[in-house]
Amino acid sequence: MPISYPRLLLCGDSALVVEFGNSIDPELNRRVLAFDALLAQEQVPGIRETVPTYRSLLVHYDPTIVAYAELGAKLMDFATREGLPSRRGRHWRVPVVYGEEFGIDLEAVAERARLSPEEVIARHSGAEYRVYMLGFLPGFTYLGGLDPKLATPRRQEPRLEAPAGMIAIGGIQTGIQCIAAPSGWNILGRTPMRTYHPSRDPIFLIEPGDHVSFFPIPMREWDALDRAAEAGEWVAEMVDP
């Protein structure tokens, strides 16, 4: 039986999922974010916070304020509205040191794609990516729009510790991992930008729906930029349309 979207899924007694589809698709993601923006605007009683992802919105709510049936009906009403407002995302230009000890998988990705490492860098930094979502870890930025030629499956054995600022490829996605954590993604390089910095205001820079492109910087610029970023500077360029 084909599933009809949007649909509601139960996520325990205090959360609902509104699912708009089942794939990684910019149009689906736009609907999720527009729906999220509408909920924020309408200030629906009982909603604690929302978590937009590729193709669904997780809505945390307080069941002592609103029951799931009532909230679910309201959410479905909003989700099926036509012409939801769409926010024009900002554009981030993010500096990256590609290769060398910061991009330990660059050679392997290049070999698999039958490209030179320089061509991989040119293709990876030549594209504009959509921020589908932030999740898993604070500031982990999931980006869509990777050159299909660069798609590389995740490693069989995840690394126990991938460094903060990692720029990597996992399947057809690329992303920025802000804090050191285990990872099965293929590491191309590293950015000094902190997408998450707990003692900076704002703590987070990138929003779902923004766009990101990368530009290569030489290793000799790393130390100064890394220090500046630690001190709270953004070290990425942002264009707000």
Partner 1 sequence: MSFLVVDKVGPATSVQDRGRSGAQRYGLTSSGAMDRKSLAIANALVGQKIGAAAIEIGPLGAEFRAVGGAVRVSLAGADRAATLDGRGAWVNETVLIPEGGTFAMSAARSGVFSYLGLEGAIAGKPVYGSLSVSARAGLGSPYPRPLQSGDKLEVGTAKRESFERRFKPLPVEQGPIRVVLGPQDDSMTPEAVALFFGAEWRVSPRSDRMGYRLEGPKLAHADGFNIVSDGTVPGSIQVPGNGQPLALLADRGTTGGYPKIATIITADLPRFAQTQAGGRVRFVSLPIEEAQKEARRFATMLAQIEERVERLLTRETVKGEG
Amino acid letter at 203?
A: I
Binding footprint of partner 1, residue count (CB under 8 A): 44
Nearer to partner 1, 19 or 226 (CB): 19
Does 49 participate in binding partner 1 (rule CB under 8 A)? yes
Q: What are phi and psi of 198, to 5 degrees?
A: -65, -20
CB of 218 to partner 1, least distance (A): 29
Interface region with partner 1, contact rule CB under 8 A, candidates 102-110, 120-128, 136-144, 218-226: 136-144
Sign of CA dihedral 200, 201, 207, 213: negative
Q: What distances in angstroms separate CA 201 from CA 71, 82, 193, 196, 197, one per listed residue? A: 34, 36, 14, 10, 8
Exposure of 33 by Cβ count < 10 A (0-12 exposed, 13-18 middle, 19+ buried)? buried
Instruction: Report how far residue 171's alpha carbon sits from residue 155's, in angstroms, rounded to the nearest whole number.
Output: 10
Using DSSP bridges, classify how beta strands 181-183 and 56-61 pair: parallel, antiparallel or unpaired: unpaired
- Pick from 6, 31, 56, 209 the residue near partner 1 by CB under 8 A: 56
Nearer to partner 1, 28 or 150 (CB): 28
Interface region with partner 1, contact rule CB under 8 A, candidates 76-84, 91-99, 134-142, 215-223: 134-142
- Residues between 171 and 200 with contacts to partner 1, criterion CB under 8 A: 179, 181, 196, 198
- Pick from 15, 96, 121, 188 the residue near partner 1 by CB under 8 A: 15
Does 54 participate in binding partner 1 (rule CB under 8 A)? yes
Does 135 participate in binding partner 1 (rule CB under 8 A)? yes
Nearer to partner 1, 10 or 238 (CB): 10
Binding site residues, partner 1, CB under 8 A: 9-15, 17, 19, 22-24, 48-58, 60, 63-64, 67-68, 133-140, 142, 179, 181, 196, 198, 203-204, 208
